[in-house]
Amino acid sequence: MIDKKNLSHLKNWFTEYVHTFKNEDIEIQKNIDLKEEHTKRVCNEILYIGKQLGLNDDELRLAEIIALLHDIGRFEQYTWYKTFVDGKSENHAELGVKILLNHRVLKEIDNETRELILCTIKYHNRPSLPNNKTEKCLFFTKMLRDADKLDIWKVVTDYYHRKNKKRNGAIELGLPDTPGFSKEVRQDLLDKTFVDINHVNNLNDFKLLQVGWIFDINFKPTFDCIKKRRYLELIQEVLPKTKEIKEIFDFVITFQQEQNITHVPNNDVG
Question: In the complex, which residues of this chain contact Fe ion (CB under 5 A)?
Answer: 71, 148
Residue 7 CA to residue 147 CA, distance in Å, equals: 19
Q: Residue 245 CA to chain centroid, in angstroms?
A: 24
Between CA 88 and CA 80 the distance in angstroms is 11
Residue 147 CB, nearest distance to Fe ion (Å)? 8
For 179: left if phi > 0, alpha if psi spans -120 to 50, otherwise beta; the answer is beta
Q: What is the DSSP letter of 7?
A: H
Judged by beta carbon, residue 155 or residue 245, the one nearer Fe ion is 155
- In this complex, which beta carbon is closest to Fe ion, that of residue 92 or of residue 207? 92
Least distance CB 1 / Fe ion (angstroms) = 25
Q: How far is the CB of 125 from Fe ion (least distance, A)?
A: 8
| Distance (Å, whole) CA 187 – CA 193 | 9
Q: What's the min distance (Å) between Cβ of 81 and Fe ion?
A: 17
SS3 category, 131: coil
Strand blocks (E) in 79-190: none
Which residue's CB is nearer to Fe ion, number 148 or number 188? 148
How far are the Cα atoms of 35, 67, 86, 143, 211 from residue 235, in angstroms, in the given order? 21, 25, 23, 23, 7
Output phi, psi for 41, to 5 deg.
-70, -35
With respect to Fe ion, which residue has the nearer C-beta, 64 or 148?
A: 148
Closest approach of Fe ion to the CB of residue 156, in Å: 12
Q: Which is nearer to Fe ion, 73 or 182 (CB)?
A: 73
